[in-house]
Structure 1
Amino acid sequence: MPSILVVTIVHDPEDSRIRHRQIPALLADGWQVTYAAPFAAYDRPGPLLPGLRTVDLPRAVGRDRVPAGKAARALIAAEAPRHDLVLVHDPELLAAVTGLGLANLVWDVHEDPAAALVAKDWLPRPLRGLIGWGWRRAERVAERSHRLLLAEYAYQERFERPHPVVPNTVLVPDLVPPPGTARVVYLGTVTMARGAREMVEVARLLAAATDAACRVEVIGAARDEESARLLEAASGQDLLTWHGFQPASVALDLLPGAVAGLSLLHDLPNYRHSRPTKIIEYFAHGVPVITTPLPVAVELVESAGAGLVVPFRDPDAAAAAIVELRADPDRAARLGAAGHAAAKAAYDWGSAGAEFTATLRGFLREG
């Protein structure tokens, strides 16, 4: 029975890729799993599952990242020899384990840190370019020392060697209801760069256009103070419903029957070559997508015939698209059904989960 240590100090312990896809796949495949994450910092209980052990770590947030890195280094140094593999999910952890000589470490690459620096308000702007350049060099060093898993095929361009890809697919229900007319949903962490201001304005416009018959529901925690302030104010004015963080089982149950799912990401480097998982979740639950024109998002939506594309930072266009869908239930139903079919055919974790565990077992055979 193989064993694996899964570590994050950045991600919410309820992160869908880690907690709700990879860990269940590992347990089902017969692995003994130790999951180390910032449970207390996020106020999340450790899951109680057969074969799973949890360890609490500090959270790395903003500029206060050193204590979490030190705690993670100590834990990995102690636990790595007791596990067949160590699967880390944060680039910070690569720096934290420098010098430990770990031959069994795997880095799950599900972000582009260098591209994401432009949205890090806690990092001084003059340093972002220099740190991004240094990170690109560090990535090339990391791939010579450790095995890598990539969450996006486009990430391969950042590296010299080929690496296996485990995309962010989702669990797809067999049956979903058609879109309704009363709700618009957003699923995921909320930031200004992910369209917090636009979503509040869409809610305001929809309330006026539909006489409050259609409401925006935001499902997810706010990561920055400005987003939290906007959502709290809009919720206080009864313009929208902000559910805050919800466990995956609760959050996904809020999607079916929505007239549209929003993905109003801004035009930033980190988003241009990433596939928004929220779009796949909307597909899976038969919800038409309204997305900004990021290249991968447009290709997803247009190839599936499952949604509408609106300009960046244009809440008027997003609200108008929602009004169009409400006025044409047959069209909304076609878009929702097309998304569900696309998710079932190409984005179902039911197939990808087996590929994920097989890849890790392959790493074990390589030694």
Structure 2
Amino acid sequence: MRGRIAHLSTVHQSWDNRILNKECRALSEAGFEVHLVVSAEQDRVTHGVQVHAIRRRGRFARLLVSQAEAWRALDRIRPQLLHFHDPELIPMALAYGRRRRIPVVYDAHEDLVKQIETKPYLRGVAKYLARAAAGRLVQMADRRCDAVVTVIDEIADTFVAQRDGDERPVVVVKNLPWAADFPAREWAAGDRTVVYTGDISVERGLERMLDAVEVADARLVTAGRCLVDESRLTSSPRVEHRGLVPPAELPGIIGEGQVGLVLLSRLPNYEHSLPTKVFEYMACGVPFLASDFAYWRDLFGGLDAGVFVDPDDRGAIARALGELLDDPERCAVLGGNGRRAVEDGFGFEAESVKLVALVERLLTA
């Protein structure tokens, strides 16, 4: 083995796509001994990764009880490097790294401060205090972590790439799909099925999707965590909600669709995000219908793999969806373009090389 690595999360699911299926899997396939300490039902081995189960708890219990349980699990593993994924773990992870004298890597999945803006339950003074606390946490990670991994250049730019005159790695590992895991859709006459995968909320386009499939006479298949009253989905005869599913089931679900939807609201954390589901739709050869964000258009516009639409124009969304569903031949062309783009470099195969190189560098420093 090339080294013993521990990944840590008390917030994410035990089969989280980025953590387990991408980063941990990539390191295991590269020959490292990889452990994942995470909330789970039981210990197991997946993709060669040893998953160590800790109990899932509520937000406040996580801050004390779960972190103490995670610390004990790490002591049993005795890692040579700790890579953690939750902002609330920043103080604990830094303390563990200092105590055990091992390098610590913070994985910034999102811009934490901007993310506060998308929380509908935070208003006024509460939102101000949450932003301030988030800023202090990120500053702590920036100053003291041995490396930072993140998903897009814009988030990487918020971290300092030098510390005390020395280079400190800030590495972008994009949240792209493994191309090999996503078989391309076989195209035939369309059955007017559209798909959406990921967290389901008003901000993420729930009402837009429901309106669009009604007007376009379509069927909507959803898979993901429902952050609103689930009856909003189940009460519609046009919607089939599969719930939260393991990553291995996503390719099959996406492949049922003639179009994949990504109709997010115009919020700062969304407008400058790297939409994983768009890449997954492309990997399956399914065209996307996405919010017309400038960042997304710059990223995907030249690929001719989908259609952009104003997320605030319900009529335009329905018309664009109807036009795609009425033209399966066009969908096949757009989907094929997306699949080729993933095969040519928009896959996690290339991103894994950067992660492995970072770990090798930190272990030999």
TM-score (norm 1): 0.87
Give 2:178's match in structure 1, choosing from 153, 171, 185.
171
Counterpart secondary structure, 2:7: strand
Counterpart secondary structure, 2:173: coil
- Is residue 289 from structure 1 mapped to residue 288 from structure 2 by the alignment? yes
Deviation at 1:202, TM superposition (A): 2.4
Deviation at 1:69, TM superposition (A): 4.9
**Is this contact kept in 2: 1:3–1:83, CA < 8 A?**
yes
Aligned match of 2:20 = 19
Deviation readout 1:107-145 (Å, 9 max, x if unpaired): 111111111112224445422223323422432331221
The CA distance in 2 between the partners of 1:68 and 1:302, in whole Å, is 47
The CA distance in 2 between the partners of 1:99 and 1:257, in whole Å, is 47
Deviation at 1:294, TM superposition (A): 2.4
The one-letter code of the counterpart of 2:269 is N
Deviating more after overlay: 252-261 vs 54-63: 54-63
Correspondence 1:189-228 to 2 at 5 A: 189-206=199-216, 210=217, 214-222=218-226, 224=227, 226-228=228-230
The one-letter code of the counterpart of 1:165 is V
Counterpart secondary structure, 2:50: strand
The CA distance in 1 between the partners of 2:114 and 2:15, in whole Å, is 24
Deviation at 1:50, TM superposition (A): 7.1
Correspondence 1:75-154 to 2 at 5 A: 75=72, 78-79=75-76, 82-97=78-93, 99-100=95-96, 101=98, 103-146=102-145, 147-154=147-154
The one-letter code of the counterpart of 2:7 is V
**Is this contact kept in 1: 2:37–2:70, CA < 8 A?**
no
Counterpart secondary structure, 2:194: strand
The one-letter code of the counterpart of 1:85 is L
Counterpart secondary structure, 2:254: coil
Percent identity (aligned) = 26
The one-letter code of the counterpart of 1:194 is R
**Is this contact kept in 2: 1:185–1:258, CA < 8 A?**
yes
Deviation at 1:79, TM superposition (A): 4.6
The CA distance in 2 between the partners of 1:263 and 1:46, in whole Å, is 35
**Is this contact kept in 2: 1:289–1:306, CA < 8 A?**
yes
Deviation readout 1:182-204 (Å, 9 max, x if unpaired): 31000112122111222222232
Relative distance call for 1:246 and 1:289 in structure 2 (3 A) is: same
Relative distance call for 1:10 and 1:281 in structure 2 (3 A) is: same
Relative distance call for 1:34 and 1:52 in structure 2 (3 A) is: same
- Structure 1 runs not aligned, ≥5 long: none
The CA distance in 2 between the partners of 1:300 and 1:52, in whole Å, is 33
Correspondence 1:260-339 to 2 at 5 A: 260-339=259-338
Aligned match of 2:166 = none
Counterpart secondary structure, 1:27: helix
TM-score (norm 2): 0.87
The one-letter code of the counterpart of 1:342 is A
The CA distance in 2 between the partners of 1:272 and 1:61, in whole Å, is 30
The CA distance in 2 between the partners of 1:30 and 1:291, in whole Å, is 38
The one-letter code of the counterpart of 2:204 is R
Deviation readout 1:216-265 (Å, 9 max, x if unpaired): 1001121x2x252312322xxx2211011111121211212522100011
Deviating more after overlay: 322-331 vs 125-134: 125-134
Relative distance call for 1:361 and 1:98 in structure 2 (3 A) is: closer
Counterpart secondary structure, 1:48: strand
- Count of residues in Structure 1 that have an aligned counterpart in Structure 2: 350
The CA distance in 1 between the partners of 2:140 and 2:297, in whole Å, is 33
Relative distance call for 1:353 and 1:68 in structure 2 (3 A) is: farther
Give 1:230's match in structure 2, choosing from 224, 229, 232.
232
The 4+ residue runs of structure 1 with deviation greater than 6 A are: none
Relative distance call for 1:48 and 1:134 in structure 2 (3 A) is: closer
